[in-house]
Amino acid sequence: MRCLHSEKAHDLGVTCCDFSSQPVSDGEQDFQFFRLASCGQDCQIKIWIVSFTHILGFGLKYKSTLSGHSAPVLACAFSHDGQMLVSGSVDKSVVVYDTNTENILHTLTQHTRYVTTCAFALNTLLLATGSMDKTVNIWQFDTEALCQAGSMEDQLKQFTDDWSEEDVSTWLSEQGLKDLVDVFKMNNIDGKELLNLTKESLADDLKIESLGLRSKVLRKIEELRTKVKSLSSGIPDEFLCPITRELMKDPVIASDGYSYEKEAIENWIGKKKRTSPMTNLILPSVVLTPNRTLKMAIDRWLETHQK
């Protein structure tokens, strides 16, 4: 075997890659394009277009970046028909994308530890995911649900505060919170109200007694706020501090390998246990190293967008 090409794909290292078995298009005779997905420690999935002919040789072209995870992505795989892409992450979630629109179809959060592997069945809508929680989960899709989920992602891009009460009910069901649909409807919670919910309002106004359930709802709402903010601002996710979700001015690298705004991570270490905000594992050291490369990238991005 011979190496045809070498590409620096992910700054912090590549964890997995997968070819789509279906060509993107059929061009001239003996000429086809294929999608290649790669994922890495930078929390991203990148889509590449690959071409290979005996006459023109090999070609690899970057197409796009998918940012559905908040932590390193450990696995990615295309469905057999090439219409879906699935990924698993250190953030314990599984994300399923539509490869044509690149919208998120489903976010699955049943695993309790890192999701390390995922695979589609050959000729049926089944998905297997494996995790460090020692489980393999088997999922079944149906066409109607996929269409509804894709529609919800389109609505997210049009800003969640425009959601109706029915849109909120659909979102709750997708997040595994179907039991709360009636409570939210009874209190007329639409998209704008959803984004303004707090710990106090969930307990006092909506009368959700379970602490664990309130925490789960708040976590899902915070994830939604983050998506809306990222989509509306256009700021690359890697430029946002994982703690404050704001553009970093003085990025530093902690001993967990992640970059944070210096003041935010210093406050985190000072007020809380010495655990990583991203992995919840003990930080081996509290030493913070300036991330000059990231700061230069942010400064360049600011200069471009201020113009």
pLDDT tens track for 19-51: 998 777 544 444 567 889 999 999 999 999 888
Q: What is the pLDDT of residue 149?
A: 47
Longest dimension (CA), the chain: 70
* Calpha distance 257→286 (Å, rounded): 12
Q: What is the pLDDT of residue 53?
A: 65
Q: What is the pLDDT of residue 158?
A: 46
Closest Cα to residue 65, out of 84, 86, 48? 48
Q: What is the pLDDT of residue 93?
A: 92
* Calpha distance 279→286 (Å, rounded): 15
Residue with tokens 């704001």: 246
| Domain spans of the chain, in order of start | 14-140, 165-232, 237-306
- pLDDT tens column, 255-302: 888 899 999 999 988 876 688 887 778 888 899 999 998 898 888 878
Low-confidence ranges of the chain (pLDDT < 50): 26-30, 145, 148-152, 154-155, 157-158, 307
Closest Cα to residue 99, out of 115, 126, 79? 79
Closest Cα to residue 235, out of 185, 193, 298? 298
Token pair belonging to 296? 């230069």
Q: What is the pLDDT of residue 150?
A: 47
Is it true that domain 165-232 has CATH number 1.10.1060.10?
no
Q: What is the pLDDT of residue 31?
A: 54
Q: What is the pLDDT of residue 157?
A: 43
* Calpha distance 65→45 (Å, rounded): 6
pTM assigned to the model: 0.48
Judge whether 165-232 and 237-306 match in fold: no
Which amino acid type is present at position 103?
N
Which amino acid type is present at position 294?
L
Give me the CATH topology for the region 14-140.
Methylamine Dehydrogenase; Chain H (2.130.10)
Give me the CATH topology for the region 237-306.
Herpes Virus-1 (3.30.40)
At 249 the three-state DSSP class reads coil
Percentage of residues in the chain having pLDDT higher than 90: 31
